Structure 1
Amino acid sequence: MKIIECPRDAMQGKDEFIDTAIKAAYINQLLNIGFDTVDFGSFVSPKAIPQMRDTAELLDLLDLFRSRSKLLAIIANTRGASDALHFEEIDYLGFPLSLSETFQQKNTNKSIAEALETVEDIQNLCETKGKELVIYLSMGFGNPYGEAYNGELVAEFVNKLNAIGIRTIALSDTIGAASPALISSVFQLNVETYPQIEFGAHFHSRPDKVEEKILAGIQGGCRRFDGAIQGHGGCPFATDELVGNVATEKVIEIIESQGFTLGLNMEEFHEAEKLAQFVFQ
């Protein structure tokens, strides 16, 4: 069972710029906890996401020698991928691919067809550099734009990504609309069909719906969950202001209640919780 902590997702929507030294102190604390991966930054246009303009600078301030956690950076095009691949410290690149044509245009200014071509180009770059490409399949459990959505569509996208050689796919409940039954069935179908692919869950949710979504993911065979301490960040397109990232502390509680051992240093986790109150004040 893997937990991916996402300070990048938590920070990127804040209007006020968080000082680079503060970001580094927070992420260094997260690196002490023992998460499988920390989604720490992104190589995208500073105009699109000003909060992430210091990602390269941030890398110089991270203490990776004592940490077992891997680093993930989000990219949205081949230029961003090329920039990220210059850094040996980064293990994973994450690319947002959407089942929704409308959302793909909003998110990366590309059509789905163009985005798939970009995915293939980036996958080739990653293979030459020994990195792994993680695809975040947004609108993975529903579509608010009136476009077609069903479980077969998800499987169709997964099949295309499998053909390209993608081995990690995070199914994303972008607007927090997924029902437990849908979550369980979508994961079960794809986990059973593509055992060579690691499927993760990037859920957005109202706080009172987190438990049922995590349990449904586990039931469907998901063993990789994203979270953000205290539930900071989330999707600006959600119509419910209570919908945001799932709180990592809640994810840990739910997963451990099901008998899984995560091996996290909870003393360090509680220190990170204290620091988060300062970072996100």
Structure 2
Amino acid sequence: MHIKDSTAPALQKSRFVKVIECPRDAMQGWKHPIPTAVKIDYINTLMRVGFDTLDFGSFVSPKVIPQMADTEAVLAGIHRPIHDTRLLTIVANRRGAEDACRHPEIGYLGFPFSLSETFQQQNTGASITEAYERVFDIHYLAKQSDKQLVVYLSMAFGNPYKDPYSKDVVYKWAHKLASVGITSISLSDTVGVATPEEIHALTHHLVTALPDMEIGVHLHSRPGGVTEKIAAALEGGSRRIDGALGGFGGCPLAQDELVGNIDTADIFEYLQKNGYESRIDAGLLSEARRMAREIFV
């Protein structure tokens, strides 16, 4: 599905797309413990593929996400990237950010900022207002440690709680984040409800309104809707897109086991077929995908 727009050519001058691989998103909710050594081998394989960034772990309480309790041990075993792949870790408060900032290998901190009050409380134990204050604080810590904060706008396309939602809410918070110096946000379809038209509308508006901010997408989807969502984001002007090999991961709140992360292999295939560029090596991507299938069984 291609969405016509008279301004699209201006937004699509760059054909290079940053592809972000998210093994953390796939692992954190996996029902079986994954040995640290297996995580290290998998992430080192991913480091060779040519991704722009790997979302590899999180500095959050192990009581909340037991699967990520070994993030520091995993980090110690990661080889230096051969393709300048940068590492991203999720943090939810100042303490987690301070822990992450002690590691020079980490280039990005990711903060989950929900547009749903209910989900923000469930996910980070904070209100939206408190989370915004955390963003400001963590942004300062990141700058002091030569890192960049990426803010994930979760529930950016609606929520299952009937919390107030509109595109204007997304626009308001994106502008507020830009006003305090945030230079990268990712629109997250946390429960897989976004239509291609909605994805295009949000990305197009924000890419146009905030030209100095990087507008990424972190999309979840049922298998049948993947291509249209990828197309909508790229045609809307986004040049940063998250995926997880095999389409593993997702959010339990989707209440549909078929709603998972966009499969990175589908993203790569779409880029190749439609004249976009990336640094991904097709052969190494296939090798990593085989490994993912062995881990997530």
Shared fold per TM-score greater than 0.5: yes
Residue type at the aligned position of 1:155 = Y
Q: 95, 103, 106: which is aligned to 1:79?
A: 95
Identity percentage of aligned residues: 51
Give the aligned partner of residue 246 of structure 2: 230
Deviation at 1:145, TM superposition (A): 1.2
Find the residue that maps to 1:10 and give its secondary structure: helix
Matched, 1:157 2:173: yes
After TM superposition, give the deviation of residue 65 of structure 1 in Å: 4.6
Post-superposition offset of 1:270: 1.2
1:114 aligns with 2:125: no
**Residue 25 in structure 1 maps to residue 8 in structure 2:** no
How far off its partner does 1:16 sit?
Answer: 1.8
| Letter paired with 1:219 | E
Partner of 2:195: 179
What is the rounded CA distance, in whole Å, between the counterparts of 2:73 and 2:79 in structure 1? Answer: 13
Is the 1:15–1:51 contact (alpha carbons within 8 Å) kept by the matching residues of 2? no
Unaligned runs of 5+ in 1: none
Amino acid at match of 2:285: F
Cα distance, 1:143 vs. partner? Answer: 2.0
Decide whether the 8 Å contact of 2:203 with 2:237 is kept in 1: yes
Can you list the C-alpha shifts for 1:50-100, whole angstroms capped at 9, x where unaligned? Answer: 000000111111111534200000000000000000000000000000100
Q: Is the 8 A contact 1:85 1:129 kept in 2?
A: yes
Which residue, 186, 199, 209 being the options, matches 2:225?
Answer: 209
- Structure 2 counterpart of 1:40: 56
Cα distance per residue 1:28-66 (max 9 Å; x no partner) = 000000000000000000000000000011111111153
SS in 1 for 2:252: coil
SS in 2 for 1:237: helix
* Contact kept? 2:24, 2:56, Cα under 8 Å: yes
How far apart are the structure 2 equivalents of 1:78 and 1:236? 26
Equivalent AA in structure 1 for residue 30 of structure 2: K
Spell out structure 1 runs of 4+ moving beyond 3 A: none
Q: Distance in 1 between matches of 2:159 and 2:250?
A: 17
Q: Displacement, 1:278?
A: 1.6
Range with greater deviation from structure 2 (42-51 or 10-19): 10-19
Structure 1 position 255, deviation (Å): 2.1
1:150-184 deviations in Å (ceiling 9; x for gaps) = 11110000011011110010000011000111111
**Partner Cα distance (2:189, 2:160) in 1:** 11
Normalising by structure 1, report the TM-score.
Answer: 0.98
Structure 2 counterpart SS, 1:201:
strand
Residue of structure 2 equivalent to 1:137: 153
Distance of 1:22 and 1:141 partners within structure 2 = 34
Partner of residue 119 from structure 2, selected from 96, 103, 110: 103
CA contact (8 A) 1:92 1:134 kept: yes
**What one-letter code is carried by the residue in structure 2 that aligns with 1:80?**
G
- Residue 197 of structure 1 corresponds to which residue in structure 2? 213
For residues 20 and 279 of structure 2, the distance between their equivalents in structure 1, rounded to whole angstroms, comes to 13
TM-score (normalizing by structure 2): 0.93
Cα distance change of structure 1 residues 203 and 55 upon mapping to structure 2, 3 Å threshold: same
Could you say what secondary structure the match of 1:60 adopts?
A: helix
Residue 13 (1) aligns with residue 41 (2): no
Aligned to 2:9: none
Amino acid at match of 1:151: K
Query: Is there any run of 5+ residues in structure 2 with no aligned partner, and where?
Result: 1-16
Report the residue type matching 1:212 in the other structure: E
Q: Secondary structure at the match of 1:91?
A: strand
Alignment partner, residue 57 of structure 1: 73
Q: CA separation in 2, counterparts of 1:121 and 1:127?
A: 10
